[in-house]
Amino acid sequence: MSQILFGTRELPLLISKKLKEMILEKNLKPGDRLPSEGELVAMFGVGRSTVREAVKLLIADNIVEIHRGKGTYVTESPGMKNDPLGLDFANQNKLLQNLLESRLLIEPQIASLAAQRATGDNLYRLSQAIEKMEIAEKTDDLAYPSCDVDFHTAVAECTQNDVLQRILPLICESIREGYLETMNVPGTHRRAIEAHIRIFEAIRSKNPDEAAEQARLHILQAMDDSKLKY
C-alpha cells in the first residue's frame, strides 16, 4: 500500500480507522491476533511510531489489547467500553450520515434544556472546553476531536439529566467520524469553534430557543462540511 499523504499528526488517527476497517473486513473475532508491527508498517506504508500511536488509540477504545511478548489481539466486546452502542462495529456505509441525522433530532433539545438548567460550574466548564479547542486548533490537530467531545459533554451535563448524558457516546462517535471526513476541509475547525461559542452564549443567556437553533445550525454546518444533506 502506498504512503498515505496526510500530516504526521493526522496519520495515527487515520491508521487506527484503517485498522478497524481491517478487523471488520477480515471478520476478526475476540482473541484473534492482528498482524505484527512490522507487517502493519509494510501494509500501510507508514513508520513504526505511527503504527504504535494508532494501536494506542485502539487500545483506548477497547478494541485491541497487547499481550506482552505475543502480539496485539482483538478484545472481548470490542469497542463497547467507550462505545456502548457498538457504533464502531455497525454498518459503516452510512454511519456518519445516520449519526448526524440523529444528532439533529436530539442535540438541539439538549442545548435547549442546558440553557434552562446550567449552573455557574457548568458555564465555566463550557468556557474551558472552548478555550482548549482554540489551543488545539493552533497547536495539535490530533487533540482537537477530544476537545470537541469535551464541549458536547459539558453541554449535556448542563441538563442535569443523567439519561441524556448517557446518549453522549452517539454524539462523541459522530465527532470522531466527522473529524476524519472534514479535517482537510478549509476552515472547518474555526467554523465549529465559532458555532460552539454561539451555543455557549445562548446557554449563558438562558435562551433555550436560541441555544436549540445554534445547535441545529452547527450540525447542519457539519453535514455540509461532510458533503451530506438532510
Q: What are 127-176's pLDDT values in tens digits?
A: 999 999 999 888 866 778 888 888 999 999 999 998 888 787 677 767 77
pLDDT, tens digit, 9 for 90 and up, residues 164-218: 887 876 777 677 777 777 877 888 889 999 999 999 999 999 999 999 999 999 9
Q: Give residue 25's pLDDT band: very low, low, confident or very high (50, 70, 90).
A: confident
Q: Residue 85's pLDDT is what?
A: 66
The mean per-residue pLDDT over the stretch 44-73 comes to 90
What type of residue sits at position 71?
A: G
Dist CA 30 CA 40 (whole Å): 19
Is the CB of residue 125 less than 8 Å from the CB of residue 154? Answer: yes
Q: Give residue 230's pLDDT band: very low, low, confident or very high (50, 70, 90).
A: low
Q: Residue 3's pLDDT is what?
A: 42
Dist CA 115 CA 206 (whole Å): 5
